[in-house]
Amino acid sequence: MVVRIALAAVALTVAAGAVAMPVSFRVVSAHVVHTGVFSAEPANGQTPAQCARFHLSDRAALRYFVKAREVDEHRWREALDWTQCSAAGTLRTGDGKSYGWTIDQSGRGLITVTANVSVYLDGPEFSGAR
């Protein structure tokens, strides 16, 4: 299973006159490092015990990346639902690079490319398991 993610806008510092071109990468694997992570903020009524039951497998994470679509940062922050439960891990691309990611139970995801560049995702909601 392979998914291609295009970076629509890259906020990189470039030399005068240079143009930052959109790039894309193929996600070929995903590894879950932490799952069932509870965040006190933003409070929406979930409990640490509820989040502890949120288990995401490597396979489910990769399926998420196949189904998710890229959205802009404003939509990701302002329009998408979020939960207090999340999972985090790493993914590997077709060219061998590795990036960190987080996905919350509502299907809002983030791939961290660099300290200043992220890919914002909207994908399927997780009911809590595998």
| Whether the model pTM is above 0.85 | no
Cβ-count burial 118-130 (b if 16+ within 10 Å, e if not): bbbbbbeebeeee
pLDDT, tens digit, for every residue of 17-29? 444 445 577 889 9
pLDDT, tens digit, for every residue of 99-129? 999 999 989 999 998 888 889 999 998 874 4
SS (H, E, C) 65-128: HHHCEEECHHHHHHCCCCCCEEEEEEEEECCCCEEEEEEECCCEEEEECCCCCEEEEECCCCCC
Residue 44: burial class (beta carbons within 10 Å; 0-12, 13-18, 19+): exposed
